[in-house]
Amino acid sequence: MEDLLSSVELNQDWEGLIVVDVDHANLSDDFTFETAMRYLSLTHQVKIRQRKTEKARRIALCNRLLQLFGCSVIGDIPFEEVQFEYGSHGKPYLKNSPAISFSMSNGEQYVVQFILLQKCTGRLDVGIDVAAKSDYIGHDDVEVFRDIFSEREYNHFKACGNELKPSLFAYYWSLKECYTKYTGLGLNCDLSRIDCGEVDVPVMSARLQCKMDEDSILFHSTWVEPDCEEIITVCRQDSGQVRWLQNGPRVYRISLLDILSFFEKTPKRSPKHSIE
């Protein structure tokens, strides 16, 4: 948490990947859950309580709190004053600042945010997705996923060893859904047209550069833990930043307690501090 806060300097460009572990957020404790809920509007509280399962409610809660936290910290905006607007397919944007770009994703265990502050260029399109090996149903059900692959992706996937298929499927899925977050279309598109080619399963992290609809897109993927169960992929348009392609954004691991402590300790400030 302190690493993240100390890395943010006002009036300086910044980018990072923020990860929250939902499974270790102590949300099975009713007091912790209700305390966290009180930082949200009544409208969002109702939406979270309407989720069908306890796990879905916890993930939705952490997602919203991380969204508020990241935009507040990086945008230097009081979290009570953070406002969002939405694209035609529901992609969120920070209404308070045209210099902030971000994207959110939920996994089996983690909620993640990719967020950038770009004062010179302004808002950029970015995407993020976290996918799990458990998303792969099984070796006998490859045809179930036929429609999400391009022809060469599908042939490559079928040819790989069964022991690699869960990891390769998670990697492909994270690349594709990350790009749909970048475009703002979400799953309202033909995933088979997003052709990432014949990719190898990352050992710990991987870089990829693809031509998508005449744009050169940079992807960076990393496994969340050494056990390689969930993989995070982020993407942005290629602007000639070789360093980003080599290293990707820095990863910051924070807890739900860190977020709640920040909200509790941060005094309400004047809107004049917001980035114009």
Q: Write the DSSP symbol of residue 267.
A: P
Measured distance CA(266)–CA(175) in Å, rounded: 36
User: Is it true that domain 2-268 has CATH number 1.25.40.10?
Assistant: no
Please give the mean pLDDT across all residues of the chain: 88
pLDDT, residue 184, reads 85
Q: Within 13 Å and on the Cβ side, how many CA atoms surround 97?
A: 31
Model confidence pLDDT, tens digit, residues 113-148: 999 988 877 788 899 999 999 989 887 777 888 888
pLDDT, residue 48, reads 97
Model confidence pLDDT, tens digit, residues 7-36: 887 668 888 999 999 999 999 999 999 999
What is the pTM for the complete model shown? 0.89
pLDDT, residue 90, reads 84
pLDDT, average across residues 259-273:
69
Q: Write the DSSP symbol of residue 274.
A: S
Q: What is the dihedral of CA 194, 136, 60, 189, to 10 degrees?
A: 20
Model confidence pLDDT, tens digit, residues 42-65: 999 999 999 999 999 999 999 999
Q: Phi/psi of residue 208, each to 5°? A: -150, 140
Strand residue runs (E) in the chain: 14-21, 84-86, 92-94, 100-106, 110-117, 126-132, 205-212, 215-223, 230-237, 251-254
pLDDT, residue 257, reads 96
Q: Write the DSSP symbol of residue 251.
A: E
Nearest to 9 by CA among 134, 163, 119, 107: 119
Place of tokens 């991380």: 66
